[in-house]
Amino acid sequence: MSNLSITEEQEGAAIHDERTHELVADLLPKKFGTAGNLWVASLFLVVLIGGYAYYHQLRDGLIVTDMRDFTSWGIYISNFVFFVAISLVGSLVSAILKLSNVEWRTPLVRIAEIIAVSAIMLAALIIIVDMGRPDRIWHLFVYGRIQSPIIWDVIVITTYFTISVLLLYLPLLPDLALCRDSVKTNIPRWRKKLYRVLALNWKGTRSQYKIMKRAMQILAVLIIPLALMIHTVTSWLFATTYRAGWDSSNFGPYFVSGAFMVGAASVIAVMYVLRNHYHLDKYITHRHFNNMGKLLVLLSLIYLYFNINEYLVSGYKMKKVEGEQLLDLFTGSYAPIFWMVQILGMVVPIIVLLFKQGRKPLPAFIIAVMVVVGAWFKRFLIVTPTLLHPFVPIQHVPESWMHYIPTWEEWSITAASLAGALLVITFFVRVFPIVTIWEIAEERGIKLEPHLNPEVK
């Protein structure tokens, strides 16, 4: 740079200034409009109703649910599995795509990571809701038995959560410093303080970036086996039992592949909403939808493969109880949900996303929502029909025990957990830059404020 003439350098700086200004203006968090406020208010309302339902449950016990001695796990558990599944997307985008040098992932990393973090938070909460004695949760730490898959799940989920938070937080540091030093004056005091504290005195020196990038590299490698573990262990909560439909060595990869699929779909859905709401077309482009669409097809095909393994192999044999359970899914009382989930939540998305037109933002968004909704019901189908087909037949019990229809308390609490996850994401977007500013600047060769310059060469 020293050999540039003075005028050229000034000119360059002026251009940089303009581009920097535009970038920062585009990507710093913005106030909500009416739509945003309405969105937050309605989410809060759902959470409040769920809170009231949980008060009911705490007061009267799990009797307020429709779970009984045979269907002893219900939508709390399937919702938990759904959340754990979604959380795998963090490792997919921040680690797998990073390590395979996929450069277009940059604007999506933080979206994926906040989805992951919020999903694990709510997974942990919903599993406490499912406990008959939440007041005894400390027993897990005092009397924990390492032989129990539940303890394995507690260990891997807390580890995965910790690393996911670090993966979210470390690359946030330069952006937090940017927020802290932002010239905007209308930021409330608490947020300025928050940025100052969270930025950890980030100065943007070369060595700071070096440490951060090195740490990210290590975390990216660490999170991959952990991601496989959390969902494999979650599948073992079922596969380690003798129950028809769960007693399957296919369950680990079946769950993991389904998790990556729903995770990728959730990123497409969230990035579509953010792109439209914040006019991020310059950063999240058609190319991103195209590529995420292709990725989703690949992941869905892998999931389809494990589905065929799961249903065809046992369907071919039709062992007694397992066969009855399968018939209940294929042609019985669960057939409508089952075929909706398999066709609308898996087969149709694969077909639509194979076409370029199907990977445009709007169709990709619709398909992504179908996949996410289908994935939620798929977990319901994994948990409930199996419990209604035990080895010892269900006889001589009150009629209501022979089926499982979640009560309003269960639906409200489940809805509240979903709303809670969306609230965490919404709050994050409101306070922090959802697209990594410094990384975009680095890629586009834009200089940020001198002391925050990543010093690209």
Partner 1 sequence: MDEFSEGVLRTKTQKIIRTVEDQSDNSRRKFLKATLVTGAMVTGGLGTLEVLSEETKKETGEKIRLLSPDGKIVEVDSSVINPAIPDIPLSAHNVRDGVPGKKFVMVIDLSKCKNAGKCRKACSKMHYLPEDRSYIKIDKMQDAETTAPYWMPTPCFHCDNPPCVKVCPVDATFKLSDGIVAIDNNRCIGCRFCMVACPYSARVFNWGEEQFKITEERFEEIKTHESCSSHVKGTVEKCDFCPSKAIKNELPDCVNACPNGVFYFGDENEDVVTNGDETVRLSQLLIDKAGYRYLEELGTKPRVYYLPPANRQFPFKEVNEVKP
Q: Which is nearer to partner 1, 42 or 72 (CB)?
A: 72
Q: Shortest approach of partner 1 to residue 317 CB, angstroms?
A: 15
Q: Which is nearer to partner 1, 154 or 424 (CB)?
A: 154
Cα angle for residues 107, 108, 113 (degrees, 5° grid): 125
Q: Shortest approach of partner 1 to residue 153 CB, angstroms?
A: 9
User: Which structure tokens are listed for 339?
Assistant: 């075929």
User: Which structure tokens are listed for 88?
Assistant: 């795998």
Q: Which is nearer to partner 1, 238 or 283 (CB)?
A: 238
Q: Which is nearer to partner 1, 5 or 395 (CB)?
A: 395
| Residue 293 to residue 107: CA distance in whole angstroms | 16
Q: Which is nearer to partner 1, 72 or 162 (CB)?
A: 72
Q: Shortest approach of partner 1 to residue 318 CB, angstroms?
A: 15
- Using alpha carbons, select from 222, 193, 99, 219 the residue that is nearest to residue 431: 193
Contact in structure between 340 and 377 (CB atoms under 8 Å): yes
| Residue 307 to residue 227: CA distance in whole angstroms | 20
Q: Which is nearer to partner 1, 238 or 251 (CB)?
A: 238
Q: Shortest approach of partner 1 to residue 411 CB, angstroms?
A: 18
Q: Shortest approach of partner 1 to residue 148 CB, angstroms?
A: 4
**Burial (0-12, 13-18, 19+ Cβ within 10 Å), 114:** buried
Q: Which is nearer to partner 1, 266 or 314 (CB)?
A: 314
Buried b (16+ CB within 10 A) or exposed e, 233-266: bbbbbbbeeebbbbbbebbbbbbbbbbbbbbbbb
**Burial (0-12, 13-18, 19+ Cβ within 10 Å), 227:** buried
Q: Which is nearer to partner 1, 62 or 364 (CB)?
A: 62
Which amino acid makes up residue 17? D
Q: Which is nearer to partner 1, 151 or 301 (CB)?
A: 151
Q: Which is nearer to partner 1, 217 or 400 (CB)?
A: 400
Q: Shortest approach of partner 1 to residue 156 CB, angstroms?
A: 14
Q: Shortest approach of partner 1 to residue 300 CB, angstroms?
A: 29
Q: Which is nearer to partner 1, 201 or 241 (CB)?
A: 241
- Using alpha carbons, select from 436, 302, 428, 296 the residue that is nearest to residue 369: 296
- Using alpha carbons, select from 81, 31, 158, 182 the residue that is nearest to residue 414: 81
Binding residues vs partner 1 (CB under 8 A): 60-63, 65, 67-70, 72-73, 130-133, 136-137, 139-140, 143-145, 147-151, 154, 237-238, 240-243, 387, 390-398
Q: Shortest approach of partner 1 to residue 62 CB, angstroms?
A: 5
Q: Shortest approach of partner 1 to residue 154 CB, angstroms?
A: 8
Q: Which is nearer to partner 1, 100 or 395 (CB)?
A: 395
Q: Shortest approach of partner 1 to residue 127 CB, angstroms?
A: 8
Which amino acid makes up residue 12? G
Q: Shortest approach of partner 1 to residue 76 CB, angstroms?
A: 10
SS percent in the chain: helix, strand, coil, step 5? 75, 0, 25
| Residue 249 to residue 312: CA distance in whole angstroms | 14
CA-CA distances (angstroms) from residue 60 to 63, 128, 133?
7, 16, 12
User: Which structure tokens are listed for 408?
Assistant: 């309003």
| Residue 349 to residue 258: CA distance in whole angstroms | 14
- Other CB atoms within 10 A of residue 57 CB: 21
DSSP 3-state of 51: helix
Contact in structure between 119 and 86 (CB atoms under 8 Å): yes
**Hunting for tokens 């195209």 — which residue is that?**
290
Q: Shortest approach of partner 1 to residue 175 CB, angstroms?
A: 40
| Residue 400 to residue 149: CA distance in whole angstroms | 31
- Using alpha carbons, select from 116, 111, 108, 121 the residue that is nearest to residue 91: 116
